[in-house]
Amino acid sequence: MNHVIAHDLDVPTAKKVIDRAFGEYQQRFAKYDPTFRWVTERRASIGFRAMATTLDGAIEVAEGKITVELDVPFLLRPFRKRAMEVIEREVNVWLAKAKAGQI
């Protein structure tokens, strides 16, 4: 299942937003052991631990959108919604900072 976050930045700036947002996420939610690694120029693998289970996914940056994919077992679906809300909130904070010239 994919979640799309719209943006109006160029791709290199949007990638910086993702780097900053996920860095902040890793600090604030360290108890979920979040992982982040760019695997291609525009796609990063992500992971979280919840209830002794690892959740894997990806973030892809494109013109006008950032797509977040997260594979979540059925029993942890409520966690998926919360994780997506937190990721989107962090990304939106850094998108606003980028538009204000703070990145």
45 in Cβ contact with 58 (< 8 Å): yes
50 in Cβ contact with 79 (< 8 Å): yes
Look up the pTM and report it: 0.82
Instruction: Report the chain's terminal Cα–Cα distance, integer Å.
Output: 30
Give the pLDDT score at 101.
87
Say which amino acid occupies 2: N
The residue with tokens 């299942």 is 1
103 in Cβ contact with 97 (< 8 Å): yes
Structure tokens at 47: 């992971």
With a cut of 70, list the residues of the chain below it in pLDDT.
1, 76
CATH, range 2-98:
3.30.310.80
Give the pLDDT score at 1.
67
* pLDDT tens for each residue of 20-37: 988 888 898 899 899 999
Give the pLDDT score at 12.
95
Domain segments of the chain as ranges = 2-98
Give the pLDDT score at 76.
67
